[in-house]
Structure 1
Amino acid sequence: MRDISHTKNHRFYPEIDRLCFLSKNLYNYANYLVRQSFIFEHNYRHYYDLQKILHTQSDYQAIPAKVSQQILMILDRNTEEFFSSKRSLSKEPIKV
């Protein structure tokens, strides 16, 4: 197992840390938009909707476009899996 203190001294650490921070912000903001849309509009925002909305957002633009798109695709997949699980749970509730 590696000692984490050595990785902070790595020459790429500041850039990786910055990109992780921007990625987290983009994911969380997109997730917020999906949740707000579902709660208040009863509408699900898919990847393409999010991409159109967020392509001008600063965190989206600060990350390479392919990476930003993959982050939104991951969120879309996670959200679809959540709703799928929710549907299956409503059909067959877990008995405790």
Structure 2
Amino acid sequence: MQLVERHLIRLHDARFAVIDQAAFASKNLYNQANYHVRQAFIHEGTYLPYAVIFHRLKQHEAYQALPRKVSNAILIQLHKNWISFFARNGGLSRRPLRLHGTPQDPWL
């Protein structure tokens, strides 16, 4: 059994502004890092790993707006997402007959 705890933080709650600011900085950091990786992949045909992105963005305002541990976790998650993308693309070239059409929703 999984237990879930839900917290509703309304606009007038004192914590709302802090959480909203952290979420905004988190989104900006992920998008900025994704932009760098995507541009290198499209234009140069190379992948920028976590270490390169870290050194490019460690002075970025969104990186510094969050605790360092959180910022690093965001960059690591982006790295995992790109690795997953490459694994999926590799699967297409190895088994082209198995992966045809669009994925179907198993719940329909």
Same fold (TM over 0.5): yes
- The partner residue of 2:90 within 57, 65, 87 is 87
Whole-angstrom CA distance in 2 between matches of 1:42 and 1:58: 28
Q: What residue is the counterpart of 2:36 in the other structure?
A: 33
Could you tell me which residue of structure 2 aligns to residue 23 of structure 1? 26
Q: Distance in 2 between matches of 1:10 and 1:82?
A: 39
Consecutive unaligned residues in structure 1, runs of 5 or more: none
Name the CA distance, whole Å, in 2 between partners of 1:10 and 1:36: 40
What amino acid sits opposite 1:53 in the alignment?
R
Q: Which has the larger radius of gyration?
A: 2
Instruction: Determine helix, strand or coil for the equivalent of 1:51.
Output: helix
Greater share of helix residues, 1 or 2?
1
Shift of 1:42: 1.2
Identity %: 41
Q: Shift of residue 12 of structure 1?
A: 0.8
Q: How many residues align?
A: 94
Q: What is residue 72 of structure 2 aligned with on the other side?
A: 69
Counterpart of 1:59 in structure 2 is: 62
Unaligned runs of 5+ in 2: 1-5, 102-108
Q: CA RMSD in A?
A: 1.7
Query: How far has the Cα of 1:7 moved from its partner?
Result: 2.5
**Structure number with higher relative contact order (C-alpha < 8 Å, ≥ 6 residues apart):** 1
TM score, norm. by length of structure 1: 0.89
Query: Offset at 1:8?
Result: 2.4
